[in-house]
Amino acid sequence: MGFQTSERLASAYGIAVTGTMMLTSIVYYVVVRHTWHWSRLRALPLLALFLVVDVAFFASNSVKILDGGWVPVLIGVGVVAAMLIWSKGRTLVVEEYARRFGAVEEALPRLHESIVARVPGTAVFMASSVEHMPPVLVHLVERLHTLQDQVLLFTVSVANEPTVATGSRCEVSDLGGGFYRVVARYGFMEDPDVPAVVHAACERAGLRIDDATVTYFLGRERVLGRDAGVMGRFAEGLFGYLSRNAVAADLHFRIPPRQVIEIGIQLDL
């Protein structure tokens, strides 16, 4: 009994390792083609060389799928399906925001008309796109008709390099009427520190700021998971579960929790 269990574990391990080798070779091909911009004539022979070895190992282990090798295959299928659902869901969220809320140039005049009063302080609205108005900002103004004197539309951009020089960390542009666009660039190996960039951006723009009184507005989507959506009830429900259990934005961006206000928006994808 113990020998059979060990053999099945070995079979599962062999399937997992050889499958990972094949996927690594394919991902490497994607990187050299789309990131390093190699031609197909240069990249395909390299991929073929790797796959000759990987496919041979995978084929030799595939006969053991029924003896326990199906376990890592099933786990891999589940992980890939979850990743594809997450990617599809985030794409639909961005498209829904773009449909509901127009570009900054179009939405800003309407916001000024809706604002009845400006109160002292600085508000930072996290925005995933530099082109569209943050949905949280639009929703807040439509309901309360009030806003801080200084408003920063803050976007974090991840560069295709491990680190970004401090001198080119952020860009600040004046949108008029107390609105400023701040784009912070970070490498994929760096952890964003939003409060530090906000302080540096305000100094660069000549704005008075008290770091302890800055209010950060974050959005939180509630996915309804109805049949009417494009994704369907199951996929949308899974995406909603993944979204609820994702790392909170304030922790990821090192924002003090006491200075955060979250505003929820309901979506049917």
- For the stretch 72-109, pLDDT in tens is 777 777 888 888 888 888 787 777 777 766 677 777 88
The string of pLDDT tens digits covering residues 199-209 is 888 888 888 88
- 180 vs 268, more confident: 180
- Other Cβ atoms closer than 10 A to 137: 23
Domains, the chain, in order of start with CATH, read: 2-98 (no CATH), 103-267 (3.40.50)
Cα(251)–Cα(257) distance, integer angstroms = 8
- 19 vs 261, more confident: 261
In 3-state terms the chain splits into helix, strand, coil percentages (rounded to 5) of 55, 20, 25
Contact yes or no for 38/30 (Cβ under 8 A)? no
Q: Is the pLDDT of residue 5 over 60?
A: no
pLDDT computed for residue 12 by the predictor: 63
Give the HSE-up count for residue 34: Cα atoms under 13 Å, Cβ half-sphere.
7
Q: Is the pLDDT of residue 8 over 70?
A: no
3-state secondary structure (DSSP) of residue 39: coil
Cα(226)–Cα(264) distance, integer angstroms = 18
CA angle 201, 206, 207 (to 5 degrees): 75
Cα(148)–Cα(140) distance, integer angstroms = 11
pLDDT computed for residue 124 by the predictor: 92
CA distances, 146 to each of 104, 182, 208, 217, 261 (Å):
18, 21, 20, 14, 15
Q: Nearest to residue 150, comparing CAs of 211, 231, 76?
A: 211
pLDDT computed for residue 101 by the predictor: 66
Average pLDDT for 44-51: 87
What tokens does 92 get?
A: 């639909």
